[in-house]
Structure formats: structure tokens, C-alpha cells
């Protein structure tokens, strides 16, 4: 006369099969969704303000480049456009970083202009929806051209100024 734990008694084991099924389904969902989420990340870049206060000291000058984007009929970015010089004396200068000859001319231009400056820094203004890989290519061209540093110029949001000021 056993009073507990006999062969005919109640089992207290948990059935883990439904738990394993749910975990496997969730794992498959995450594996499928993860690549789509990684490609959708965008970096907020410049908003193209007409004038950006980039000169900290009144006498210092900097070289500023503007990287435009090439777009299709649906206004979608298809690649980098022309690199323009943000200077009233060099408004006609245009370079294309996806052409090797133009890239070399841009490196030479950067080298000529940066070598005359005390602070060998280059500022880059770019379209806000241009992928960062094109901006990074321009950074590499700036470094090869003799610039010590290349920075992205962004503008302040006007909404945050209103909230903070009033």
C-alpha cells in the first residue's frame, strides 16, 4: 500500500513541446524581419540652410563642398550628383566623385585650397536623403587631397528654436 509516487499517480511534468514550437516560430520571424529593418535605417543629414555659421573666428576660412544627389523621374535618389564648391569665386566648379578623372581633379583642387589654410578642415553639405556611403567617398577624397578633417555641416531645426526660446 504505497501512498504517493506510485506508478498510477499524477504526473507533474510540464509539456515543453508547445513552448518550443512558439520559440521556433518567433525565431523564424526575427530572422526574416531583421535584414529588412537594417536596410531601412537612415541618417539625418543636412537640411540645406541658406547660410550656415561655420566660421568660429572671424578671420578663419574653410573649404566647404556641397554634394548633390542624382534623382530619377520619381524623385528617388539614384546616386551622387555633382560636388560643388561653396564659394562665390568658384561657383562654376563641378566635380563628380564616381568618375576617376574628376575625382583626381577634385583631390588636386582640395590640395591647392587646403594647403593655404591654417586649419586644414573641409566642411561637407549634402542632401539629407543621400546615402552615407556617398558622403564617406567624398570624405576619403578630402583626406587624399590633404585635408586633416572632414565634417558634415547640418542646420538647426527651426522647431526646436521656437520651443526653447518661447
Asked, for residue 14, whether it belongs to a domain, the answer is no
- pLDDT of 85: 82
Q: Which of 58-62, 103-107, 138-142 has the lowest mean pLDDT?
A: 58-62
pTM of the model: 0.55
In this predicted structure, the answer to whether residue 103 has a pLDDT above a threshold of 60 is yes
Q: Give the Cα separation of 31 and 36 in Å (integer).
A: 10
Asked, for residue 18, whether it belongs to a domain, the answer is no
Asked, for residue 57, whether it belongs to a domain, the answer is no
Q: Name the H helices within the chain.
A: 17-39, 100-114, 132-144, 158-165
Q: Name the H helices within 57-119.
A: 100-114
Choose among 159, 157, 158, 87: nearest CA to 122.
87
Contact predicate 149/120, CB 8 Å:
yes
Q: Give the Cα separation of 120 and 146 in Å (integer).
A: 8
Asked, for residue 75, whether it belongs to a domain, the answer is yes
Q: Binning pLDDT at 50, 70 and 90, where does residue 52 land?
A: very low
In this predicted structure, the answer to whether residue 132 has a pLDDT above a threshold of 70 is yes
- pLDDT of 91: 64
Residue 105: which residues within 8 A CB-CB, separation 6 or more? 95
The C-alpha cell at 130 is 543621400
Contact predicate 154/46, CB 8 Å:
yes
Number of domains in the chain: 1
Asked, for residue 79, whether it belongs to a domain, the answer is yes
Q: Which domain holds residue 128?
A: 63-152
Asked, for residue 1, whether it belongs to a domain, the answer is no
Contact predicate 65/86, CB 8 Å:
yes
Amino acid at each position: 500500500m504505497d501512498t504517493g509516487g506510485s506508478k498510477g499517480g499524477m504526473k507533474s511534468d510540464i509539456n515543453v513541446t508547445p513552448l518550443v514550437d512558439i520559440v521556433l516560430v518567433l525565431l523564424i520571424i526575427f530572422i526574416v524581419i531583421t535584414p529588412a529593418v537594417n536596410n531601412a535605417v537612415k541618417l539625418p543629414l543636412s537640411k540645406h540652410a541658406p547660410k550656415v555659421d561655420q566660421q568660429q573666428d572671424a578671420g578663419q576660412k574653410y573649404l566647404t563642398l556641397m554634394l548633390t544627389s542624382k534623382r530619377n523621374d520619381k524623385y528617388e535618389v539614384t546616386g551622387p550628383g555633382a560636388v560643388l564648391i561653396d564659394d562665390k569665386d568658384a561657383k562654376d566648379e563641378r566635380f563628380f566623385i564616381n568618375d576617376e578623372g574628376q575625382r583626381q581633379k577634385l583631390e588636386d583642387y582640395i590640395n591647392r585650397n587646403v594647403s593655404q589654410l591654417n586649419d586644414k578642415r573641409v566642411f561637407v553639405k549634402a542632401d539629407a536623403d543621400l546615402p552615407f556611403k556617398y558622403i564617406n567617398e567624398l570624405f576619403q577624397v578630402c583626406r587624399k587631397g590633404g585635408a586633416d578633417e572632414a565634417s558634415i555641416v547640418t542646420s538647426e531645426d527651426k522647431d526646436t528654436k521656437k520651443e526653447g526660446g518661447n
